[in-house]
Amino acid sequence: MKALSLLVMVLSLQAQASFMNNDGGQAFKFKFSQFQGEVYEYEIKANSKDDAYQKAAQACFDHFKAGRHVSMDFGQDIIDVCVNPRSNY
């Protein structure tokens, strides 16, 4: 059930991210923990830290999912990495 809750949160982030305006704002950098031998980094300009975080978490999930259908357990592993970035701003 926890995995389903986290998946719903990621999908919510995706919906919110689609309404974001990336034309201006402050620059944010996020670095996600190593997952399958790779550290993912993401940079974005956003009007708030929350907007930047939401977009970064979704980009991380999309990156590691890589357009594949993944199992619930593997999706949970991705979510665990993507909801806890280290940020430099």
- Boundaries of every domain in the chain: 2-20+27-88
Higher pLDDT, 9 or 57: 57
- Which amino acid makes up residue 43? E
In this prediction, residues 64-72 reach a mean pLDDT of 94
Q: Which of 53, 48, 52, 82 is nearest to 65 (CA)?
A: 82
Is the pLDDT at 41 greater than 60, yes or no? yes
Residue 16 pLDDT exceeds 60: no
**What pLDDT score was predicted for residue 10?**
53
pTM of the entire structure?
0.69
Query: pLDDT-derived band of residue 89, with 50, 70 and 90 as boundaries?
Result: very low
What per-residue confidence (pLDDT) applies to 11?
52
